[in-house]
Amino acid sequence: MRESENIFTGILPGFLVHGQVLVVSWFVIILLLGLSFLGTRETSRIPHNLQNFVETAFDFITDIARDQLGESFYKEWIPFIGTLFLFIFGCNWAGALIPWKLIELPEGEFAAPTNDINTTVALALLTSLAYFYAGLSKKGLGYFKRYVQPIPLLLPINILEDFTKPLSLSFRLFGNVLADELTITVLTSLVPLVVPLPIMVLGVFAGSVQALIFSTLAAAYIAEALE
């Protein structure tokens, strides 16, 4: 993104800050924190509606972690897997449901944070750091033996695999979100209001699936490192 397309520039010397992404990301984070606080503030044995929602979301995330990591390791990874899922889920829904383009800016426009390749790459790199940490914490330096197994000739391929994992994670999420927003934008310009509504519903569903895929793959990579 060019400097003229950013709301905030020059905050950090030598860095361009994508202000639109920063604003919408913090909007999603504050919304998630607010829902978590309100849903757990007054818990009861007979849960109210918001507590039901929070408990359902937690159970769903727990199932993802348990299915991929197994009973022995899933509990310590629930916070990381849950954060990935909820943040991506919130960003995708914010991009699909909130008409950000109606907010006119002097430069650039608001959109889902996952519509920015920098966001998806950052999430993918965090996932890479997580599974390296998982492998090293369990096996120590012996974790690197995996690169020469089953035979040393596979060393270049095994190293390349660690580069392709974050690439596939980031571009899959970015490409799907970008394609959905472009489709809605084109249809809205051609046939306002009526035709884009089913596409928006499909976008909400696709955004939910992308959050599930990303978090499930992240858990699977961590499980592979712990094997």
198: confidence class by pLDDT, cuts 50, 70, 90 = confident
Mean pLDDT over all residues of the chain? 80
Buried b (16+ CB within 10 A) or exposed e, 148-182: eeeeeeeeeeeeeeeeebbeebbebbbebbbebbe
The predicted pLDDT at position 1 comes to: 43
Burial of 123 (0-12, 13-18, 19+ CB in 10 A): buried
204: Cα separation from own chain's centroid: 14
What is the Cα–Cα distance from 96 to 10, expressed in whole angstroms?
30
Widest distance between CA atoms in the chain: 59
What is the Cα–Cα distance from 74 to 68, expressed in whole angstroms?
8
The total number of residues shown for the chain amounts to 227
Mean pLDDT over residues 77-83, rounded? 92
What is the Cα–Cα distance from 215 to 22, expressed in whole angstroms?
22
What is the Cα–Cα distance from 125 to 142, expressed in whole angstroms?
22
Is 51's pLDDT higher than 70? yes
In terms of phi and psi (left: phi > 0; alpha: psi -120 to 50; beta: otherwise), the region of 191 is beta
pTM: 0.82
- How much of the chain is in helix, strand and coil states, percent to nearest 5? 80, 0, 20
Residue 70's domain comprises 3-226
| 212-223 tens-digit pLDDT | 999 999 999 988
Structurally, the chain folds into a number of domains equal to 1
**Token pair recorded at residue 56:** 């359902």
What is the Cα–Cα distance from 117 to 176, expressed in whole angstroms?
11
The predicted pLDDT at position 192 comes to: 63
The predicted pLDDT at position 12 comes to: 52
Least confident of 24-28, 181-185, 195-199: 195-199
What is the Cα–Cα distance from 117 to 177, expressed in whole angstroms?
10
